Chains A and B, each alone.
Chain A
Amino acid sequence: MELLDTLREAVRDGRAPDAATRAELARVTDPAVLRRAGKTLAGLGSEVPGLRPFRVAVLCTGTIGPYEPILRATLVAAGLLPSIEPGRYKMFEMSLGSAEFGDPDLLSCLLDESYFLPPQWSATDIDGLGEYVAQRLVSLRSTVDAATDRSPATILLHTLPLPGTIRDAVISWRDRARLSRIWHQLNVELLALVDQNPQVAVLDLVSVLGDKAVAARDDRLHRYGDLPFSDGALALIADQTRRFAQAKAGLSRKVLALDLDNTLWGGVIGEVGAQGVQLGGLYPGNCYRQLQETVATLRDQGVVLVLASKNDADLVDRTLAEHPEAALRPEAFSARMVNWQPKAANLAAAADTLGLAVGSFVFMDDSPFERGQVASELPEVAILSAEGDPAHHIRTLVEHGWFDVLELTDTDRKRPELYRTKALRADFSSSFGSPADYLRALDIELTPAEATEFTVARIAQLAGRTNQFNLTGVRYDEATTAAQSVSPDHLVASFSVRDRFGDEGVVGAVWVDCGPDVWAVTNLVLSCRVLGRDVEIALAAWIAARARAAGASTVEGRFVPSGRNGVAADFWTRAGFQPTENDEIFRLGADDTVPAPDWVSVSERSEVHS
């Protein structure tokens, strides 16, 4: 009751529920509570500072029931401000094919077996049933293609459970197996849509329902109100939808900060020594070994690791390097904060070293004191408990999908190493007399390149994930970026940076409307890990040169404050642009020059569109 009262207060005051309240809401699994929370949160306005607007359309082959309030509560818990537009009842196919859902950030489709099965079918003709299901799949695929031709929205589909009421009506074991095979094949084909249409995503509802042991359907409500899913199943669909929306909106986390004692191994190393910790072998040591392996898997996919442990640093380093069962060696961590300082201070220091916001951190620790201290000092950090039976730790770490991305890029894979070299770079800087000397010694090279089919995914990902150096907050998705990249009236370019410490990969992108006289930059994003080297000024100089080469006399830049992009507020003026009567627009005329830094060399790469 207290949670719902807190939400009511926030709605009444027209403000976002605070981070602690949203974290509590995110832990709610009872769909009845989510329904009530969602109904309350419907009272939030269309603009609420601290929540990111996100438009969702919903189409269902039956009645959507309480999906809307459950989804709303789930999305607000993740820091989003959803506007949810349900489609018309019994109009699924027409609404989808004609794209009457408009231009949302996401179209959530709820499918049930009625879409794929004939009204009447014979259990003695399973082959005929298989052919019908295959035809319906072809029909769905072409309807989805028609929708994505008309709308840039991402369409989220799901796999379908085969209801027991249908499966168990087939009494022959052989035919029942063939029916199940047809259904599994249907789900395989649904999942394959992600490779056939880049605007399609698919959540595996069948495996999620099985994992959570939730009934897909309440037969009473299905018969009474054509509700294909139980409230519990809707809560699971909403949660998976939240994971996708969170990744698309750039709210996924980038950093995993981990405690050591009783988190990454069992026991307190200062008491039992390196040989005494539980790591590998039989239970419970196997739990810690497998947790380390899972953490290493996350790192392989780009999650930046930070060690946050109150311990003796030498002992920890030696144990990580030499323990035969350690899956995480010292170099796996981009920053190691092993000392006796409060953990909140250590996390803040790690964020500073890495150039990332603490809001991009997830912190896992077995100690309620340490978790409480971090929650109190840094409420934007997501906190996971490693208390209790270590058999549950892996599930605790991965089930929320904190680190989900829409698509993995090369830069993701390299990110942990990139941030480790960033920390090394900070050490190197202390040996120079002036900042400019240091920057010249770095041999920084900026490589601009027009977007290609190979870089569009990374560019769209940058638009989605970059919050600080994001000049207008416009998050161009992959479809729009791809369309602009081949349009003669637009320029979309990526920017790669390398220096003596390594290749940062694609770290920035720009979207430009190219008029005959005026080039207008509709957004420019840059990863914060390359800030402080004036790379962004070199980037502006390149845009200006391109505009002039094309005959445009003016380049127009825009800065729209988002509450999180203050680091970029003075970018246009630093780049030589003049303020205009419109506070958000800056202009570079024919007589203005961009003060390009002499320590950044620019080497353009052009690639052929295919």
Chain B
Amino acid sequence: MTTSTSVEQTVLDVLSQILDTTADELRAQPALASHDWDSFSSLEALAQLESALGVRFDLRSFNAAVTVHDVIALTQ
């Protein structure tokens, strides 16, 4: 079973890889707009997170996410 800690780590790993940053930087600055977050990278994140976590997002909710914490909350 996937624990909340490992889910959080997976989200950080995926987002940091897509946004070309590190998990620590994302923790320090969780606002996605502070990074290269645009429609292309958000769709990339959607595909990678759905594949890695075996989840299916509602695109409206996913597009409404503005911080890393919002994205993690969507996976809970």
Question: Per-residue CB proximity of B8-22 to A under 8 Å, as 1/0?
Answer: 000000000100000
Question: Per-residue CB proximity of B59-76 to A under 8 Å, as 1/0?
Answer: 100010000000000000
- Are B59 and A36 in contact (CB-based, < 8 A)? no
Among the stretches A94-102, A220-228, A347-355, A493-501, the one at the interface with B is: A220-228
| Contact flag A65-B43 (CB < 8 Å), given A36-B17, A220-B59 | yes
**A484: shortest Cβ distance to chain B, in Å?**
43
SS class, residues of chain A in contact with chain B: helix
Q: Does chain B have a CB within 8 A of A465?
A: no
- Are A231 and B59 in contact (CB-based, < 8 A)? no
Give the distance in Å from the alpha carbon of A221 to the alpha carbon of B52 in the complex.
18
Residue with the highest number of chain B CB atoms closer than 10 Å, among A35, A65, A224: A224
**A41: shortest Cβ distance to chain B, in Å?**
15
Q: Does chain A have a CB within 8 A of B39?
A: yes
Give the distance in Å from the alpha carbon of A280 to the alpha carbon of B59 in the complex.
53
* A65 cross-chain contacts in B, Cβ below 8 A: 43
**A574: shortest Cβ distance to chain B, in Å?**
55
Give the distance in Å from the alpha carbon of A427 to the alpha carbon of B65 in the complex.
74
- Are B44 and A66 in contact (CB-based, < 8 A)? yes
Q: How many A-B residue pairs have CB under 8 A?
A: 26
- Are B44 and A35 in contact (CB-based, < 8 A)? yes
Question: Per-residue CB proximity of A451-474 to B under 8 Å, as 1/0?
Answer: 000000000000000000000000
- Are B48 and A225 in contact (CB-based, < 8 A)? no
- Are B43 and A35 in contact (CB-based, < 8 A)? no
Q: Does chain B have a CB within 8 A of A31?
A: yes
**B66: shortest Cβ distance to chain A, in Å?**
17
Q: Does chain A have a CB within 8 A of B2?
A: no
Q: Pick the residue among B17, B39, B47 that contacts A231 (CB under 8 A).
A: B47
Q: Pick the residue among B39, B48, B59, B63 that contacts A32 (CB under 8 A).
A: B48
Question: Per-residue CB proximity of B27-62 to A under 8 Å, as 1/0?
Answer: 000000000000100011001101110000001000
* B39 cross-chain contacts in A, Cβ below 8 A: 225
| Contact flag A30-B51 (CB < 8 Å), given A220-B59, A224-B59 | yes
* B17 cross-chain contacts in A, Cβ below 8 A: 36
**A68: shortest Cβ distance to chain B, in Å?**
11
| Residues from 198 to 252 in A contacting B, C-beta threshold 8 Å | 220-221, 224-225, 231
* A221 cross-chain contacts in B, Cβ below 8 A: 43, 59
Give the distance in Å from the alpha carbon of A220 to the alpha carbon of B47 in the complex.
12
* A36 cross-chain contacts in B, Cβ below 8 A: 17, 48
- Are A35 and B59 in contact (CB-based, < 8 A)? no
| Contact flag A32-B43 (CB < 8 Å), given A220-B59, A224-B59 | no
**A65: shortest Cβ distance to chain B, in Å?**
7
Size category of the binding interface on chain B: 10 to 19
| Residues from 29 to 54 in A contacting B, C-beta threshold 8 Å | 30-33, 35-36
- Are B59 and A31 in contact (CB-based, < 8 A)? no
Please name the residue on chain A nearest to B49 by beta carbon: A32
- Are A66 and B51 in contact (CB-based, < 8 A)? no
Please name the residue on chain B nearest to A221 by beta carbon: B43
* B47 cross-chain contacts in A, Cβ below 8 A: 31-32, 35, 66, 231
**A216: shortest Cβ distance to chain B, in Å?**
16
Residue with the highest number of chain A CB atoms closer than 10 Å, among B44, B50, B63: B44
Give the distance in Å from the alpha carbon of A86 to the alpha carbon of B50 in the complex.
26
* B51 cross-chain contacts in A, Cβ below 8 A: 30-33
**A384: shortest Cβ distance to chain B, in Å?**
27
Q: Pick the residue among B43, B50, B52 that contacts A225 (CB under 8 A).
A: B43
* B44 cross-chain contacts in A, Cβ below 8 A: 35, 66
* A31 cross-chain contacts in B, Cβ below 8 A: 47, 51
Give the distance in Å from the alpha carbon of A83 to the alpha carbon of B26 in the complex.
33
* A220 cross-chain contacts in B, Cβ below 8 A: 59
Question: Per-residue CB proximity of A255-298 to B under 8 Å, as 1/0?
Answer: 00000000000000000000000000000000000000000000
Please name the residue on chain A nearest to B63 by beta carbon: A224
Please name the residue on chain A nearest to B52 by beta carbon: A32
Give the distance in Å from the alpha carbon of A65 to the alpha carbon of B46 in the complex.
13
Give the distance in Å from the alpha carbon of A30 to the alpha carbon of B52 in the complex.
10
* A224 cross-chain contacts in B, Cβ below 8 A: 43, 59, 63
Give the distance in Å from the alpha carbon of A224 to the alpha carbon of B61 in the complex.
13
Give the distance in Å from the alpha carbon of A35 to the alpha carbon of B50 in the complex.
13
* A231 cross-chain contacts in B, Cβ below 8 A: 47
* A225 cross-chain contacts in B, Cβ below 8 A: 39, 43
Give the distance in Å from the alpha carbon of A36 to the alpha carbon of B52 in the complex.
12
**B62: shortest Cβ distance to chain A, in Å?**
9
Please name the residue on chain B nearest to A224 by beta carbon: B59
* B48 cross-chain contacts in A, Cβ below 8 A: 32, 35-36
* A66 cross-chain contacts in B, Cβ below 8 A: 44, 47
Give the distance in Å from the alpha carbon of A220 to the alpha carbon of B60 in the complex.
9
Please name the residue on chain A nearest to B48 by beta carbon: A32
Give the distance in Å from the alpha carbon of A30 to the alpha carbon of B54 in the complex.
12
Please name the residue on chain A nearest to B13 by beta carbon: A1
Please name the residue on chain B nearest to A30 by beta carbon: B51
* B50 cross-chain contacts in A, Cβ below 8 A: 32
Give the distance in Å from the alpha carbon of A36 to the alpha carbon of B50 in the complex.
14
Give the distance in Å from the alpha carbon of A66 to the alpha carbon of B18 in the complex.
13
Give the distance in Å from the alpha carbon of A154 to the alpha carbon of B8 in the complex.
47
**A267: shortest Cβ distance to chain B, in Å?**
41
**B40: shortest Cβ distance to chain A, in Å?**
9
Give the distance in Å from the alpha carbon of A396 to the alpha carbon of B17 in the complex.
34
Give the distance in Å from the alpha carbon of A114 to the alpha carbon of B17 in the complex.
34
| Residues from 533 to 578 in A contacting B, C-beta threshold 8 Å | none
Give the distance in Å from the alpha carbon of A231 to the alpha carbon of B51 in the complex.
11
Give the distance in Å from the alpha carbon of A31 to the alpha carbon of B48 in the complex.
9
Q: What 19 new A-B contacts, CB under 8 Å, besides A66-B47, A224-B59?
A: A30-B51, A31-B47, A32-B47, A32-B48, A32-B50, A32-B51, A32-B52, A35-B47, A35-B48, A65-B43, A66-B44, A220-B59, A221-B43, A221-B59, A224-B43, A224-B63, A225-B39, A225-B43, A231-B47
Closest 4 CB pairs of A and B: A32-B51, A220-B59, A32-B48, A32-B47
6 A-B pairs with CB atoms under 8 Å apart are A32-B48, A32-B50, A32-B52, A33-B51, A36-B17, A225-B43
